[in-house]
Structure 1
Amino acid sequence: MPILHFHLAEGQYTAEQHEALLVESSRFFAQVLACPIDRVRVFIQLYRPDLVAVGGVPLCRAVQRAPYFSFVVMEGRSLADRHRLLTGFTDIVERVLGVDRALVRGGIVPVAPENWAIGGVPGSVMRQAEIQERTGQGA
């Protein structure tokens, strides 16, 4: 279920940087959540610089870069794991893309297990034991 989106302006990074961002963040996501990497999905969404503004200035006129990420996780993940992901994805963006970390923004989109499907089956049904363990309800 782990889903990660990076929102970047076109033309600011190389194909190699994009690939490194995808690979490193996928591995990190799987490591932190202790889940198989085949469950992880990472996307890069590119925007034309004239369609992005930083501080009210279109990016095509600004010298700053403004990467943004958001990730989806099922409710019940620990605060420590969520904070580790926020910090770790920021670290990866800073290192791989060479961006000042003060300009990186990111957020979490928590999803209730009953509102997420895996192969058409609600997550609350598919992974009931995992979800109960994660939320401290026991099996």
Structure 2
Amino acid sequence: MPILEYHLADNCYSDSQIKELLVSSSHLYAKVLACPLDRVRVFVNFYQKKHMAVAGELLSDGGVEAPYFHFLVLEGRPIEQCHQLLEGFTDLVVELLKVDRSWVRGGCWPIPAQYWAIGGQSASLMRANEIKARALAGESK
């Protein structure tokens, strides 16, 4: 489930900055949610400066670069984890992309498990099966 999208202006950052943002964000996401790294997906969407406006001014006309991100979590995650991710992803944008913190925006979208699929199977069903398998494994010890 862990999916993160950054929305950035094109041609503002080096490939090495973007690589570090993607890799560091992936590891942060997995750490905070205590989930396997192979479940994490991080994307960067780039937009032409003439297609972005901040405070009513196009970036191509001198507007301020103001990155935006959003990420998904299954409903029921502790709010503290969501806050850690909001702060952590903001910190990474500020540190790695050298953006003024006051211009960075981010959001967390909780998704009900019954509305999310993994490999075509409902996450709510997969979660129930994982819980059952853990219980059975515990009984056999």
Q: Answer yes or no: same fold by TM over 0.5.
A: yes
The aligned residue for residue 119 of structure 1 is 119
Query: Which segment is superposed worse, 120-129 or 26-35?
Result: 120-129
Q: Does the 8 Å contact 2:57/2:63 carry over to 1?
A: no
What TM-score, normalized by structure 1, do the two folds share? 0.91
Deviations 1:66-113 (A, max 9, x none): 100000110000010000000000000000000011100000111000
CA RMSD between the two structures: 1.5
CA distance in 2, matches of 1:111, 1:33: 15
Structure 1: tracts of 5 or more residues without a match: 132-139
Could you say which residue in structure 1 is the equivalent of 2:14?
14
Matching residue of 2:29: 29
**Count of equivalent residues:** 132
More helix by share: 2
Letter aligned with residue 26 of structure 1: S
What secondary structure sits across from 1:127 in the alignment?
helix
What TM-score do the two structures reach when normalised by structure 2?
0.90
Higher alpha-carbon Rg: 2
Change (3 A) 1:126 1:105: same
Pair 1:106 & 2:106 matched: yes
Aligned pair 1:79/2:63, yes or no?
no
User: Do residues 48 (structure 1) and 74 (structure 2) align?
Assistant: no
Which amino acid in the other structure matches residue 59 of structure 1? Answer: L
Structure-2 separation of matches of 1:68 and 1:129: 36
Which runs of 4 or more aligned residues in structure 1 lie more than 4 Å from their structure 2 counterparts after TM superposition?
Answer: none
Closer, same or farther in 2 for the Cα pair 1:129/1:32, shift >3 Å?
A: farther
In the alignment, structure 1 residue 65 sits paired with structure 2 residue 65: yes
Change (3 A) 1:130 1:74: farther
Structure 2 distance, partners of 1:94, 1:78, is 25
Taking only the aligned residue pairs, the percentage that are identical comes to 51
